[in-house]
Structure 1
């Protein structure tokens, strides 16, 4: 039985269902990066995302997320961390290096999940040709699905996980773990 909290969503007053029964809280530190210069629809989207995280926190699904503006973050360090974790191509078209790599165009909203200091989730990004959006992350957090889409193997190498097909991703991780044990 699916039991959850029914709250009104901000965008179009559609109900937002957050599954709370039969699930553990997300065991990750969540950081939401926002562009302080966003206006119009982008600023409205930022408001919707922060309201969604407030609902997730109120439901006990996540601990208080950190909300940071890109202007207050060390953007270069975050970009390098993200690129090292998922590869530069996975950040296209959401992050764009400008002025021969001396400037960055960043998304209006970005979500990073960390466990024990390691990046375990990043939205938005591209994995295997599919875009993994901020909405995909929110949907996974609401329903209790796997939101971590960056996986580190036993040798600490990064493996991408497609959060849309959790069963095959789990099988892929198990196979890579079995292969590593055989080595």
Structure 2
């Protein structure tokens, strides 16, 4: 990899083998691993993050729960420029327990999410909207591929956001 920039890619998924999407998910992982083999990125990490997280709950203070909660906060802070939004891919809601009467805010997470870091600084998050235009996870992978070879691989089959 040219220069001294350390580039890391983090892929977040709801499950390692979701119904009907494992082929697409495997393709995403293989493309990211290929970018790693070609020294386009230095590291590829995969985290299973479930379907929702309560950022203020006890489970968001330890282990993977803390990692996921920290990343969700970081992603939302990153898009504070007014042009970029993670809506509707990260959906916030208030949930009220019929048993305890307590309420809490949670965020429903996308099926998949890609984050790109350069030297530890968040640079990109997919899926997202920029100036109202949707940019999918596939767009993020294509962007990484095109940065190295001048054009994206047209065989990239997955198109979900």
Identify the residue that residue 129 of structure 1 maps to in structure 2: 132
| 2:89 equivalent among 86, 90, 94 | 94
SS in 1 for 2:72: helix
C-alpha deviation, 1:34, in angstroms: 1.2
Alignment length, in residue pairs? 123
Aligned residue among 4, 7, 10 for 1:31 = 10
Structure 1 segments unaligned to the other structure (5+ residues): 1-22, 146-183
For 2:140 and 2:119, locate their aligned partners in 1 and report how far apart those are by CA, in whole Å. Answer: 19
Pair 1:44–1:104, CA change in 2 (3 A): farther
Aligned to 2:153: none
Shift of 1:36: 1.7
Looking at secondary structure, tell me which structure has more helix per residue.
1
Q: CA deviation at 1:95?
A: 0.7
1:104 deviates by 2.0
Q: What is the distance in 1 between the residues matched to 2:119 and 2:13?
A: 23
Unpaired runs of at least 5, structure 2: 51-63, 96-103, 149-161
Q: Deviations over 1:54-111 (max 9, x none)?
A: 1111222212211111143533222111111104970111111133562221112111
Q: CA deviation at 1:29?
A: 1.7
Tell me the distance in 1 between the aligned counterparts of 2:71 and 2:137: 17
C-alpha distance in structure 2 between counterparts of 1:44 and 1:97, whole Å: 29
From 23, 38, 47, give the equivalent of 1:68. Answer: 47
TM-score by length of 1: 0.58
- State the structure with bigger RCO (CA 8 A, min sep 6), 1 or 2: 2
Cα distance change, pair 64–90 in 1 and its aligned pair in 2 (3 A): same
Q: What are the Cα deviations for residues 117-174 of structure 1, in whole angstroms up to 9, with x where unaligned?
A: 22111111111001111111111111216xxxxxxxxxxxxxxxxxxxxxxxxxxxxx
SS in 1 for 2:9: strand
Query: Shift in Å at residue 41 of structure 1?
Result: 2.9
CA RMSD of aligned residues (A): 2.6
SS across alignment from 1:29: strand
Q: TM-score, normalised by structure 2?
A: 0.65
